[in-house]
Amino acid sequence: MTDKKLRATITGVGMYVPDKVLDNKYFESIVETNDEWITSRTGIKERRVLENGATSDLAARAVDDLLKSKNMSAEEIDLIIVSTITPDMFFPSTACVVQRKVGAKNAWGFDLSAACSGFVFGLETAASFIESGKYKKVVLVGADKMSAITDYTDRNTCILFGDAASAVLLEPTEDLSYGLQDSVLYCDGTGEDALHMLGGGSRNPATHETVDEKMHYIYQDGRAVFKVAVVGMADAAVEILERNNLKREDISFLAPHQANMRIINATRDRLGLQNDQVMVNIHKYGNTTAATIPLVVTEYYRAGKVKKGDKLVFAAFGGGYTWGAQYIVWSID
């Protein structure tokens, strides 16, 4: 423990996407849709699918990638948080499975469920552990195998989702000008009816009936979710700028949840940003739920686009409803 003021900062990143690609042509063969319709309404061209394995396999490979990039041993990890809505099973937690698979024998961990806001909720949580002074190395993973809960006969949802994982390492810094500066996070349980998976929990345990009624797949009222997501994500992003006296020209990048290109563009326009200030990879991976923000940040950093001192805004909206935004000053060279 320490009496010094600490701030949590991202000091490493990692990612994993499966090899198998489902492009828009594939969906033309299984549901009534076409490439132009999908692209114009979502911005998605491709998404990845894990054919064999579970969410923990995605997550463990992302953590391994992170450790390799840092030349760091898994035994140095103090805590693993896995943000996911597709856990391997109810228990043990996916974090426990990942802990075993990567060999982080000195770490404890848990799962966090906040749907597409899972990473921003997880980042605030992980930062609190770091800033307490008790933990030095916290790994936060956003990972989802959305193909496991997607009904590939439902054209409203099957075109949207993909499988991926991305991980970040958080460590303490006494230089308060870096790291997670601020968060605004919200939830509203009235969104339950518009975005959910009804089957498998204590309310609707698995039965022949729940399987027959497709209750173990994601359900989304696209129009209802779109209306609130556009407002919620943009409002949170504007709030984080106003709270921190930031102007649009101060922001190096907006890293938005990659759900729909129209929602991303609406958030961009609300903030008055240029296209080159917005991180986008939805065309390659679709909506990977809790993985989208760390995945796009990792890709941009590794492409040399994100520099030390850059001011980033993360913004997300997901089932619950859950939503929020964060202001981060990048600290990796």
DSSP letter at 276?
G
Sorted by sequence, the CB contacts under 8 Å of residue 162 that are 6+ apart come out as 17, 22, 46, 47, 48, 49, 146, 147, 285, 286, 287, 288
pTM above 0.95, yes or no: yes
pLDDT tens, residue order, the chain (333 aa): 557 899 999 999 999 999 999 999 999 999 999 999 999 999 999 999 999 999 999 999 999 999 999 999 999 999 999 999 999 999 999 999 999 999 999 999 999 999 999 999 999 999 999 999 999 999 999 999 999 999 999 999 999 999 999 999 999 999 999 999 999 999 999 999 999 999 999 999 999 999 999 999 999 999 999 999 999 999 999 999 999 999 999 999 999 999 999 999 999 999 999 999 999 999 999 999 999 999 999 999 999 999 999 999 999 999 999 999 999 999 999
Check residue 4 and give its pLDDT. 82
Give the span between the Cα atoms of 222 and 111, in whole angstroms: 27
What is the secondary structure of 207-240 as a DSSP string?
-HHHHHTTTTS-EE-HHHHHHHHHHHHHHHHHHH
Q: Cα dihedral sign for 193, 198, 201, 202? A: positive
Q: For 115, left (φ over 0), alpha (ψ -120 to 50), or beta?
A: left
Does residue 283 have an active-site annotation?
A: no
* Residue among 96, 116, 260, 281 flagged as catalytic: 116
Assess contact for 289 and 115: CB atoms under 8 A.
yes
Does residue 187 have an active-site annotation?
A: no
| ∠ Cα 101 11 3 (to 5°) | 105
Does residue 257 have an active-site annotation?
A: yes
166: enclosing H helix or E strand: strand 163-173
Sorted by sequence, the CB contacts under 8 Å of residue 11 that are 6+ apart come out as 70, 169, 170, 171, 331, 332
Check residue 211 and give its pLDDT. 98
* Residue among 24, 96, 158, 257 flagged as catalytic: 257
Give the span between the Cα atoms of 20 and 25, in whole angstroms: 14
Check residue 227 and give its pLDDT. 95
Check residue 1 and give its pLDDT. 52
Give the span between the Cα atoms of 82 and 165, in whole angstroms: 10
46: enclosing H helix or E strand: strand 46-49
Check residue 2 and give its pLDDT. 54
